[in-house]
Amino acid sequence: MSKIEKEFKKMKKQKILIVDDSEMNRELLIDILEEQYDVMEAENGVQAVEILAKDETDFWFLLLDIMMPEMDGFDVLNYINKHYWNDRVVVMMISSDDSPENINRAYSLGAFDYISRPFDPIIVRKRIANTLFLYARQHDLENMVREQFYEQQKNNNLMISILSHIVEFRNGESGMHIQHVKTITELLLKRLVQITDRYSLSEVDISLISVASALHDIGKISIPEEILNKPGGLTKEEFEMMKTHTVIGSKMLSDLPVEQFDSPIVHVAYDICRWHHERYDGKGYPDGRKGEEIPIAAQVVALADVYDALTSERCYKKAFSHEEAVRMISEGKCGVFNPILLQCLNEISNTLKSLYTNTGWGPEIEKVSCRKDKAEDTTLFHEREQNKPSGQPGYMQLLYVDSLTSVYNRRYYKEFIQGSSDMEAIALIDVDNLKQINDDYGQEAGDLVLQRTAQTLLSLIRRNDHLIRYGGDEFLIVFSNMTKHTFETRLEEIRQSFEGLIVDGRPELHISVNIGGVYGTGKQGELFHIVDTMLEHSRSTKKQVTICFLDENEDVQGLFKKKEM
């Protein structure tokens, strides 16, 4: 069976909505269609759009009468257009009259076809089946093209990202610089086309420039590592050497065989590599181009590059806050930029700021990235992603990982998490009967219980969450970006998963945990105090998760709404 046929088969139980104010007419159509289709009816336009609005992903075939009370057929067509439902709603008009104006008007509003009264069942069925078949085929073709396009795009992006990471790794920059520049470039460009049409940039152009932005520093591959990674200032000669990365990068691209250099992305990348250190006042390098002589792609990437460099820690500088960075750029302390781009930067400032704080794209994280222990530091980054810090032991490993349970230790929490401003969902968990177990079965059994507890908790958190052995029998989980509801359910799941849990080879050991949680924003110290109180409460109630939800309007000191499960 071909793909098209499969699609068609799937669509056979197609939903059809009959919209007609006459019950008899609807029933006649239902009689004609119900064997083959899933038929629903509406007696006017209002009911029809209500049904269509229920699920914005459903594909509907509409048989639509024109003259109806409340909302007529034309109104329904207008509504469909207004809500951009055209690609999921196919409309066939029911035309009772021989009035061509009405039919024409319906066509111009997007109706696909019409059937006229009196209904001939054979013709009605055939018309509908043909229309659906046509749609299925078109849909299938569109998907094929889209898949091919994405596949190609994915490969391109992958190759570019590999290439640029090689350069980045040598630069000793944090792993995210390329990604950040790409994101900022895209945001700036999208804003730019909203403000002006001076640069006539299409969506495709924006996507090309964003992807090509990853290559801006490829020329650095030829700069000696001692210069690249030299802390503090460079000598004049060294700086001259550094500057050549622009020309070298662009030459690497223009040396490509003609047919490759002719591809739009290579052209754009050439512009970016060569001119991303030019200044709008003509005092940049390598060519001293001025104003609009600098291609817009290079102008935008230059700004994105500077913003990200400022807000990240580098071996030669500390990280600035988002506000400081924007201020320094606006005041011309980090180069001279096109005023309209500065306007864009200011206008996307809130978005940037939230990216900067919410995704951990801030200095708290970058702080780890100190050049001198690059290898270990990448391991740590990698492990943060994986959540479980294992792998080759380095001194980072020894410093930040609890040796018994292999989860993060308190030091890690203090140094990398405690300072985050976006903490909002934390849970504190303790093993209820650890002392008893130690007393009854010995320390070794207690250790087993702690290890099993850590494993179980790890299996229940997501990649971006953090599990920390806070001390003794206490574990801390810091959840990132979690809804209230999920938080509640997750904690309950955690509690339940300890019920009936058996420690391998030691069936006599039963683990039971107490869980306290806090949800809301507040100062870290306060949050910790609250979660501790909640845990206390959980201890006294047994078999309950106790959560405190901080109400934004209330004083953090007063203990808000206490939620018990």
Partner 1 sequence: MNLKDCYSTVGGDFDEVMGRLRKEQLVTKFLYKFLDDKNFHLFEDSMSNKDYDEALRAVHTLKGICQNLAFTGLYVTSSQITNALKEKDYNRAMDMSPQLFKAYHQVIHGIKEYKNTMDTSTTDGEIR
Q: Which residues of this protein are in contact with partner 1, per CB under 8 A? A: 21-25, 27-28, 31, 67-69, 96, 117-121
Residue 50 C-beta: closest distance to partner 1, Å: 21
For the bound state, the minimum distance from the C-beta of residue 106 to partner 1, rounded and expressed in Å, comes to 16
The three-point CA angle 360-361-364 to 5° equals 65
Collapsing DSSP to helix, strand or coil, 481 comes out as coil
Q: How far is the CB of 65 from partner 1 (least distance, A)?
A: 8
Write down the least CB distance from residue 154 to partner 1, Å: 54
CB of 107 to partner 1, least distance (A): 20
71 vs 64: CA distance, rounded Å: 11
Whether residue 79 contacts residue 101, with contact meaning beta carbons closer than 8 Å, is answered with no
Residue among 414, 380, 421 nearest 397 (CA)? 380
- Least CB distance from residue 68 to partner 1, whole Å? 8
CB of 121 to partner 1, least distance (A): 7
Which is nearer to partner 1, 123 or 195 (by Cβ)? Answer: 123
The residue (of 121 and 471) whose beta carbon lies closer to partner 1 is 121
Of 120 and 564, nearer to partner 1 (C-beta) is 120
Quickly count helices (H) and strands (E) in the chain. 25, 14
Q: Which is nearer to partner 1, 101 or 237 (CB)?
A: 101
**Cβ nearer to partner 1, comparing 68 with 329:** 68
Containing 195, the helix (H) or strand (E) segment is: helix 177-195
Can you read off the two tokens belonging to residue 560? 């808000």
Residue 69 or 442 having the CB closest to partner 1 = 69
Give 96 or 497: the residue with its C-beta nearer to partner 1.
96
CA angle 510, 511, 515 (to 5 degrees): 155
- Name the minimum Å distance from CB 123 to partner 1: 9
The CA distance from 275 to 297, in Å, is: 9
The letter for the amino acid at 291 is G
* Cis upstream peptide for 286 (omega within 30°): yes
CB 113 within 8 A of CB 92: yes
Nearest CA-CA partner of 313 in 367, 357, 373, 378: 367
Report in angstroms how near the CB of residue 72 gets to partner 1 at its nearest. 9
- Minimum distance from CB of 47 to partner 1 (Å)? 16
Bridge partner residues of 314 (DSSP): 317
Instruction: Indicate the residue among 126 and 462 with the shorter CB distance to partner 1.
Output: 126
Q: What SS3 state is found at 41?
A: strand
- We find the least distance from the C-beta atom of residue 110 to partner 1, in angstroms, to be 23
Show the tokens assigned to 452: 């099993």
Q: Which is nearer to partner 1, 120 or 385 (CB)?
A: 120
Alpha helices in 13-120 (DSSP H): 23-33, 45-54, 73-82, 100-108
Q: Are 219 and 168 in contact (CB under 8 A)?
A: no
**Smaller CB distance to partner 1: residue 71 or 340?**
71
Q: Which CB atom, from 118 or from 339, has the smaller least distance to partner 1? A: 118
Q: How far apart, in whole angstroms, are the C-alpha atoms of residue 313 and residue 325?
A: 12
Q: How far apart are CA 500 and CA 522, in angstroms?
A: 36
Tokens read off for 521:
């924003």
With contact defined as beta carbons under 8 Å apart, do 351 and 187 qualify? yes
Identify each DSSP E strand in 82-218 by its residue range: 89-95, 113-116
In sequence order, the β-bridge partners of residue 476 are 428, 468
Shortest distance, position 26 Cβ to partner 1, whole Å: 11
Nearer to partner 1, 31 or 385 (CB): 31
Edge-first strand order for the sheet with 561-564 is: 408-409, 466-471, 474-479, 425-431, 513-519, 545-549, 561-564
What would the two tokens of residue 184 be? 């900022």
